[in-house]
Amino acid sequence: MSTYLVWSNHHHAYWGPSGGYTTNWLTAGRFTQEQAAERCSRRTWEPRTLPPEVMVLAPDSERAAFTIAELCAIPSQIQDSIRQATRTAIRERRAREAASS
């Protein structure tokens, strides 16, 4: 089963496993897709701002082991995923707004 991290653009950190935030992806909470989506919908998304939270697939979701080189690359890969998820959320919001006007 896939697990997700929830990144807070508001706090510049990941949601923790039982509340709070952490900047370390290794200690971040792991959530199902449904749980992550629910957490991403809790905070009001103000106009002309970044989405408060976005979800990304946890790097260790489908792998139990990594080489040292792979572990070193993960933080930058996650940040790329966060940027992509943020851009996608903005694009989808704009499309919804255009469709409703």
**Nearest alpha-carbon partner for 56 in 20, 67, 76, 11:** 76
pLDDT at 26: 93
Q: Among residues of the chain, what percentage have pLDDT more than 90? A: 88
Band (19; pLDDT cuts 50, 70, 90): confident
55-92 in b/e form (b: 16+ CB < 10 A) is bbbbbbeeeeeeeeeeeeeeeeebeebbeebbeebeee
Q: pTM for this structure?
A: 0.91
Mean pLDDT for all residues in the chain: 94
